[in-house]
Structure 1
């Protein structure tokens, strides 16, 4: 089989260094004999086109990337937002880095399609002015900006954010290119852009935890105008920008006025009973018991020992894991994954004949044409 000799080997070296892996590890990942790859890197033999294609796909690049002359221009390959996240978490996995780049590509698609549509209907990101405000005051203004009602869940929080010109993606629960692995500590990340920021939330069994991650990332975007990537430790950080984002999320989800509905004299003596005590509020506000307890503690209405006891009790609970979920409604998966605003923009562009049916399918996670038509009917209410 003919082998390509004009491969830019320095770019393969750069990609390996960028992902923190050796050539042997790369050979294993793309199912090429280590000796074959070593010979190619030594200039003794090239790679077949199929081998080069597999290598390029692994790194999330096109094959032409490895055929172009010259060194890699990192400023063009990685956006400032990507570099910010990589610097915050140098240990990010190869899979996580690919996901971040994939999200950036989806945003680029969204913005390009949006420019093709009626500009009068485009919602621009116009953040509220929060400079100089305390965290509670900033959260109050942000809640007004979002137009939130008193009863909410993750979906309503998400819709409110999307309605203000942001994209909100939620990872898939099953294995695939849009999943944040279950074993990964990453709970979410945000990519700041003055035109269209993006928030990505890891899908969890408890949607209340997703809601907190969502508002934590919104805090980074509105308070700090910066990109961020966060794990469990960040969502409990007691200092710096993470603490501010945590406090912002807490006050936005549970304003001071909401706490007035909680009867302290009905608080159970044992932490195991706290969730039942707070059940009406948990369901109405779409938040976890821990979130409410933290707000009560910060307000001086709950001893720190009671909060710590609840966290210990909660950490010891054994909750059966759900499987990846049924794909019976595959046609609706793009909506769950990319959000309503993104999906509507793709469908509008397709119906306006700005893009083909095949292109729309590729933008919607390679949805089958039959499923794409089902998705259209879903939005049409048919």
Structure 2
């Protein structure tokens, strides 16, 4: 039961059930038929991320490296999406053209945005399950999580989503950090704060002046709309679903067309993901475990953990908790990937 419910064994000897994990604010809009099991997985994920963040914060304070980040909670929705975006762009030194170079892999796209966020002191993790595909987090239920802490802010992006959507989710969660709004986000944005964060992310990735070039979709056939959106999104390294959402928000398409486009893009993405998984099963071997783990954790967290290990501020057990691996695998994760660990050992 401890393994199934992802609770410490001692929790089952308590006089009363433990309280639900504090999510901050739940910004999601969930359908009535959503899975209760998925909610339990989200709770377990947030407990885990909060525990990791607390260890990181305490380690930074022990090392006297706990710097208050002035941008956390520095903005409000009343200041408007343009003002919030301007603050994010200036603080992270973001450049849209640099983002658009390459693909969503190195050197452009999500990797670029993540690097800029990590340089500013934000830890960005890719987490799509709790250790196996049996615990995969459905994108409709969980898209991202922001922990708006002034010393060690964390952002989690669900890597079960399409890679072209990761950048949008990261920017959305960064907006939560700027608003000081800790909480969990889903796929449907109906609340005011979720629509606001979507608008901030969309204004960076796709300025309104560019979306106007698709104004002619109003009277176009469905097939023509799909083709033009495909080309438009590929040229700008953004997801097709984001383009469709932006078109809806700008009033360039109606909700019926948006719903049809979204359903098509989602079904095509699911089919492509299933095909890729099948190809991966047929291949011998696979990507190196430690390379994959470092990619999901991000350089900032791996390097920090390596440095804290070298300085004996973190034990292998606590480092394993931060990295989400067994203590026996800690040195494999940080040894080849952590500049701080390698420098200290050298």
Asked if TM exceeds 0.5, the reply is yes
Distance 2:193 2:333 in 1: 43
Q: Structure 1, residues 255-312: CA drift from partner, whole Å, max 9, x if none?
A: 346658x5868998602312443155332xxx21232344355446x34376555335
Q: Does the CA-based 8 Å contact 1:171-1:200 persist in structure 2?
A: yes
**Partner residue in 2 for 1:147:** 93
- What TM-score, normalized to structure 1? 0.66
Q: Structure 1, residues 58-90: CA drift from partner, whole Å, max 9, x if none?
A: 55444445556x667x7xx566x4364499879
Where in structure 1 are there 5+ consecutive unaligned residues?
1-29, 31-54
**Partner residue in 1 for 2:170:** 214
Distance 2:133 2:321 in 1: 14
**Partner residue in 2 for 1:13:** none
**Partner residue in 2 for 1:245:** 197
- What TM-score, normalized to structure 2? 0.72
Q: Does the CA-based 8 Å contact 2:29-2:188 persist in structure 1?
A: no
**Partner residue in 2 for 1:126:** 70
**Partner residue in 2 for 1:310:** 261
- When residues 296 and 358 of structure 1 are mapped into structure 2, their CA distance, relative to the original with a 3 A threshold, is closer
Distance 1:105 1:333 in 2: 22
- When residues 82 and 62 of structure 1 are mapped into structure 2, their CA distance, relative to the original with a 3 A threshold, is same
**Partner residue in 2 for 1:291:** 242
Distance 1:66 1:307 in 2: 48
SS at 1:139 equivalent: helix
Task: Give the superposition deviation at 1:206.
Answer: 1.7
**Partner residue in 2 for 1:192:** 148
- When residues 63 and 118 of structure 1 are mapped into structure 2, their CA distance, relative to the original with a 3 A threshold, is same
**Partner residue in 2 for 1:273:** 227
**In structure 2, which of residues 33, 39, 56 is the aligned counterpart of residue 110 of structure 1?**
56
Matched, 1:343 2:265: no
Distance 1:104 1:197 in 2: 10
**In structure 1, which of residues 138, 156, 171 is the aligned counterpart of residue 127 of structure 2?**
171
Task: Give the superposition deviation at 1:103.
Answer: 0.7
Task: Give the superposition deviation at 1:184.
Answer: 6.3
Distance 2:139 2:82 in 1: 34
Q: Does the CA-based 8 Å contact 2:28-2:185 persist in structure 1?
A: no
Distance 2:95 2:134 in 1: 31
Q: Which has the larger radius of gyration?
A: 1
Distance 1:359 1:316 in 2: 41
- RMSD between aligned alpha carbons? 3.9
239-248 or 84-93: bigger deviation: 84-93
Distance 2:51 2:182 in 1: 16
Q: Structure 1, residues 130-172: CA drift from partner, whole Å, max 9, x if none?
A: 3442212322222222211223211222222222222222114
Distance 2:64 2:159 in 1: 33
SS at 1:181 equivalent: coil
Task: Give the superposition deviation at 1:192.
Answer: 3.0
Matched, 1:138 2:84: yes
Distance 1:140 1:183 in 2: 28
287-296 or 153-162: bigger deviation: 287-296
**Partner residue in 2 for 1:12:** none
- When residues 114 and 88 of structure 1 are mapped into structure 2, their CA distance, relative to the original with a 3 A threshold, is farther
Matches within 5 A, 1:218-229: 218-223=174-179, 225-229=180-184
- When residues 233 and 362 of structure 1 are mapped into structure 2, their CA distance, relative to the original with a 3 A threshold, is closer
Where in structure 2 are there 5+ consecutive unaligned residues?
100-108
Distance 1:176 1:334 in 2: 13
SS at 1:241 equivalent: helix
Matched, 1:353 2:312: yes
